[in-house]
Amino acid sequence: MNSSQLFAMTALMETYGGTFVSSISQALRYADPVNRQKLLDAFPDLVEKYGPNSQFMKPKELMEV
């Protein structure tokens, strides 16, 4: 995950997650690379839900009316 993907993921976590998820997003932003990876490894469900391959990150398809 590159830095722009990480920033987008943490922004989504703060916007759509609860208090715990928001706190993890702040920890991810402040962590050094080693501790950031530890957090990402500890919470793969959050990476799946808010990360680069999540529904939030997929482009929206427009429907014709």
Q: How many CA atoms lie within 13 A of 45 on its CB side?
A: 2
DSSP run (H or E) holding 46 = helix 44-50
Calpha distance 37→43 (Å, rounded): 10
User: Does residue 44 carry a pLDDT above 70?
Assistant: yes
pLDDT tens-digit map of 4-42: 999 999 999 999 999 999 999 999 999 999 999 999 999
What pLDDT score was predicted for residue 58? 81
Give how far the C-alpha of residue 21 lies from the chain's centroid of Cα atoms, to the nearest Å. 9
Confidence (pLDDT) at 34: 98
- The residue among 35 and 61 whose pLDDT is bigger is 35
Burial tier of 22 (Cβ tally within 10 Å: 0-12, 13-18, 19+):
middle
pLDDT of 57 reads 84
Asked whether residue 52 carries a pLDDT value surpassing 70, the answer given is yes
